[in-house]
């Protein structure tokens, strides 16, 4: 049975591989999806694939309050009040505390943490009109462990972790759940250093020594967003191939 019939879902960062994958999965389960991206041409093929009865575009720079106001208005006009918000848009700049410039640090914080804050603020009144809702913040193993060399990204994800738990406590009596999903390294461009083309974090010594597939992470997000996880709020759902467990010891000869 489809889990999102008659539900309005907003997915940010829909131009990326994970965002597009989640949009497709929500649409396949009968949701009406607002496809959030900075520019329409980034998601034209996705919109054409799904059709206007299933998906609409919202021009959404997640750091802009005006864009968020417009996105919620677009959602309500097309499909009705918002039931699900997936805060997925993300920015990563490789660099240490000492090598990053202040502007680079702010750019990552503004997209990842402030963008999540603004999205939550914008969506909650619509969810209240609906009678409740579900917010899923896409986090990272960098929001639970340490991420040397990703000082801004890791800091932003730790901030999202706190915001998720605080929002969950504040919004629970409104029948609005807020949870975090912490993927490991997914097979997307974000997994690679744009300067070298190498993986940002190694996977060879983790218990499941491979990258995550977009569809398996999307499956987890849909579960967390759905009523199947209706008693979970402020929770952290990890899908990292065992990365946070530490490296697998080398086999003895």
What is the Cα–Cα distance from 187 to 175, expressed in whole angstroms? 34
- DSSP one-letter code for 95: B
- Catalytic amino acids? 153
Nearest-CA neighbor of 181 among 138, 151, 142? 138
CA angle 201/207/212 to nearest 5° reads 55
Q: How many CB atoms lie within 10 A of CB 237?
A: 17
Q: How many CB atoms lie within 10 A of CB 52?
A: 10
Give CA separation, 83 vs 130, 194, 240, in Å. Answer: 7, 36, 27
Nearest-CA neighbor of 156 among 210, 100, 198? 100
- DSSP one-letter code for 84: E
What is the Cα–Cα distance from 197 to 63, expressed in whole angstroms? 28
Token pair listed for 14: 């829909």
Which residues is 11 bridged to in the sheet?
35, 86
What is the Cα–Cα distance from 195 to 179, expressed in whole angstroms? 33
Angle formed by the axes of helices 102-109 and 151-171, nearest 10°:
30
């Amino acid at each position: 049975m489809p889990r999102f019939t008659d539900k309005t879902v907003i997915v940010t960062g829909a131009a990326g591989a994970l965002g597009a994958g989640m949009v497709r999965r929500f649409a396949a389960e009968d949701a009406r999806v607002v496809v959030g991206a900075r520019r329409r041409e980034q998601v034209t093929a996705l919109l054409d694939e799904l059709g206007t009865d299933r998906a609409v575009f919202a021009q959404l720079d997640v750091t802009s309050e005006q864009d968020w106001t417009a996105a919620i208005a677009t959602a309500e006009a097309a499909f009705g009040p918002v039931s699900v918000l997936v805060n997925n848009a993300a920015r990563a700049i490789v660099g240490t505390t000492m090598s990053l410039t202040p502007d680079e640090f702010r750019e990552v914080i503004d997209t990842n943490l402030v963008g999540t804050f603004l999205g939550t603020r914008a969506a909650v009144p619509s969810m209240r009109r609906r009678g409740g809702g579900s917010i899923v913040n896409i986090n990272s193993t960098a929001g639970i462990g340490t991420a040397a060399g990703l000082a801004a990204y890791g800091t932003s994800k730790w901030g999202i972790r706190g915001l998720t738990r605080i929002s969950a406590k504040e919004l629970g009596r409104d029948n609005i759940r807020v949870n975090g999903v912490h993927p490991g390294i997914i097979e997307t461009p974000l997994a690679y250093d744009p300067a070298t083309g190498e993986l940002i974090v190694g996977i060879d010594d983790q218990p499941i020594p491979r990258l995550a597939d977009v569809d398996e992470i999307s499956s987890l997000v849909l579960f967390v967003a759905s009523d199947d996880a209706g008693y979970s709020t402020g929770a952290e759902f990890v899908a990292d191939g065992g990365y946070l467990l530490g490296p697998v010891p080398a086999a003895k000869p």
